Amino acid sequence: MRIAVFHPGAMGSQLAAQLVAAGHEVHWVPEGRSTASVERAEAVGLIGTPFAEAVGFAEVVLCSCAPQGAVDVAKQVGATGFAGLYIEANPLSPKSLEEARAALPEATFIDAGVVGPPPKGGPSPTHLMLSGSAAQQAADLWAGTAVTPMVVGDQVGAASAAKSAYALYNKGKAALAVLAFELAAKHGVTDALTAQQVRQDAESLKDPALPENLTSVAWRWGPEFDELAETLDAAGLEGDAARGLRQVWTRLS
């Protein structure tokens, strides 16, 4: 199938690479993108194409970008009258997800979310959560690849909820570990903290350089926690918990 991907970041490029490996023709739009994006796209065999042509010929559009750009991409694609399969693979709140869906009235909208590292066939699986009326059709695109699709429901929103629940746990734990290391450093007791790595589920305490190591992703994780806060609010849960942890990523970025 002919697929357009927006945009080939660390995750999007690898999701696209697996589509190429599955035999699909995958395009992207180089205009306005960074040198790093160009290098990633070329490395995995994506075809650089102007926007109108990439979307005009696409049967499928995959949106995998930073969450703060997802709705804008949906609006840009929707403005062309795109009527194919649109896979929204960003961790969005119900409000943002509905805004993206409304921008694509002619498309078949698939809610998606990625759990795990970029798919490269490593020991940790990359799960692609999918929901919507054509979720299985979307799942079939990655058949036989390093991506493991998981159809979690037929309603848009189910995949985002599944992704958000895991992200809240996994990245929330990382934010707490950052605070723990910073608090320990303030009092000169970092060694005492790292000594607790022997305890079950304390892997995050192994590396005192964790706060520094996470600065490269904080610009993406911060907006993701904004979406998580709204998702929790919509479920009648404590969105302020995510807002508090969001401040960690604001500072690190």
Can you tell me the mean pLDDT for 90-107?
96
Tell me the two tokens of residue 22.
Answer: 């599955």
Hey, what CATH class is 2-155 in? Answer: alpha beta
Can you tell me the mean pLDDT for 182-211?
94
CB 185 within 8 A of CB 193: no
pLDDT higher than 90, residue 13 = yes
Can you tell me the mean pLDDT for 127-137?
97
CATH 1.10.1040 occupies which residues in the chain? 162-252
pLDDT higher than 90, residue 201 = no
DSSP state letters, 114-136: EESS--SS-SS-EEEEEESTTHH
Model pLDDT for residues 135-160, shown as the tens digit of each residue: 999 999 999 999 999 999 999 999 99
With a CB cutoff of 8 Å and minimum separation 6, the contacts of 94 are: 157, 160, 230, 231, 234
Which pLDDT score is estimated for 2? Answer: 98
Confidence of residue 122 (pLDDT cuts 50, 70, 90): confident
CB 229 within 8 A of CB 239: yes
Confidence of residue 225 (pLDDT cuts 50, 70, 90): very high
Can you tell me the mean pLDDT for 22-35?
95
Listed range (18-27, 116-125, 153-162) with the worst mean pLDDT: 116-125
Topology (CATH) of 162-252: N-(1-d-carboxylethyl)-l-norvaline Dehydrogenase; domain 2 (1.10.1040)
What does the alpha-carbon distance between residue 127 and residue 223 come to, in Å, rounded to a whole number? 21
pLDDT higher than 90, residue 203 = no
Can you tell me the mean pLDDT for 92-97?
96
Which pLDDT score is estimated for 200? Answer: 87
Which pLDDT score is estimated for 167? Answer: 95
State the distance between the two ends of the chain, measured CA to CA, in whole angstroms.
38
Model pLDDT for residues 154-185, shown as the tens digit of each residue: 999 999 999 999 999 999 999 999 999 999 99
CATH 3.40.50.720 occupies which residues in the chain? 2-155
Confidence of residue 234 (pLDDT cuts 50, 70, 90): very high
Q: What is the pTM of this model?
A: 0.93
